[in-house]
Amino acid sequence: MLITACARVEPVDDNALEAVDPIDSSELIETQDDAAARTPGLRFAWRMDNDTGAAVWGPQGQPAGTDPKLSVLCTKDGGQPQLTITRYAIGDAEAGAGTLRVSGNGASAMIPVAMATGDSQGQWTANVGPGDLMRSLANAFAGIGMVDITLSGAEPLQVASAKRVRDIFANCAGPAEAEGGEDDGTAIGNSQG
């Protein structure tokens, strides 16, 4: 009988409730990044590093260089475009080299990476020229879902595929190399760091 008394629900007078402030409509939110900043729980986002032109996956609301987890950049090597992909993690530092596996959108790529010497944070970098490997990477980011990133000896990482990353692939490999999905505007996503 005492348990029944505890489960009783008292009605709430409608006059006791306060009005709820409306949330901005999607028309008022200019970008997905802005939407992410207004959404608790989305901890990581792609940001552009204006100094280097790299897309950097890291904590939302922070500058691009603050605690990065992954960066993607198109550079030139002797006039030849190449993609520089860097995973920031403590991996198998004793080996000094490892394998970065990128999978998403039904595609995957395995890339040999080397750890930057004298780096305590762990920067594992690979440079990828045009060809099958870059095409596989571009295809992994071509969809609108999540992309899984694993590195030998490090915690796995999940990043959102985003137009800004697909644009880097397209600029680096050319449109025939990096055909992407429709522009979903996604620049945000849930992830563990």
What contacts 162, CB < 8 A, 6 or more positions away? 46, 55, 141, 186, 187, 188, 189
Residue 163, pLDDT above cutoff 60:
yes
Where in the sequence is the domain holding 142, given as residue range(s)?
Answer: 43-189
69 burial level (CB within 10 Å; 0-12, 13-18, 19+): buried
> β-strands 97-104, 107-115: how paired?
antiparallel
Q: Which residue has the higher pLDDT, 188 or 17?
A: 17
Q: Which helix (H) or strand (E) holds 188?
A: strand 188-189
- State mean pLDDT over 86-91: 86
Looking at the chain, the whole-number percentage of residues with pLDDT higher than 90 is 30
Task: Specify the pLDDT at position 156.
Answer: 92
Task: Specify the pLDDT at position 84.
Answer: 94
d(CA 110, CA 88): 17
- State mean pLDDT over 168-175: 77
Q: Would you state the structure tokens that stand for residue 152, as one six-digit string? A: 């030998």
Q: Is 157 part of a structural domain of the chain?
A: yes
Q: Is 36 part of a structural domain of the chain?
A: no
Q: Is 133 part of a structural domain of the chain?
A: yes
Least confident window among 16-20, 62-66, 134-138: 16-20
d(CA 12, CA 167): 53
Least confident window among 94-103, 132-141, 152-161, 179-188: 179-188
Task: Specify the pLDDT at position 183.
Answer: 37
Residue 174, pLDDT above cutoff 80:
no
d(CA 164, CA 45): 11
Looking at the chain, the whole-number percentage of residues with pLDDT higher than 70 is 66
Coil, helix or strand at residue 6: helix
Q: Is 30 part of a structural domain of the chain?
A: no
Q: Would you state the structure tokens that stand for residue 32, as one six-digit string? A: 């997905």
Residue 28, pLDDT above cutoff 70:
no
The pLDDT confidence band at residue 57, using thresholds 50, 70 and 90, is very high
d(CA 169, CA 131): 12
Q: Which residue has the higher pLDDT, 22 or 45?
A: 45
Task: Specify the pLDDT at position 108.
Answer: 93
- Specify whether the CB–CB gap between 187 and 165 falls below 8 A: no
Average pLDDT taken over every residue of the chain: 76
- State mean pLDDT over 99-122: 85
Q: Closest Cα partner for 168 from 79, 84, 106?
A: 84
What is the number of structural domains in the chain? Answer: 1
pLDDT digits (tens, 9 = 90+) for 176-188: 443 444 333 333 3
Which residue reads 């006791």 in tokens? 16
Q: Is 63 part of a structural domain of the chain?
A: yes
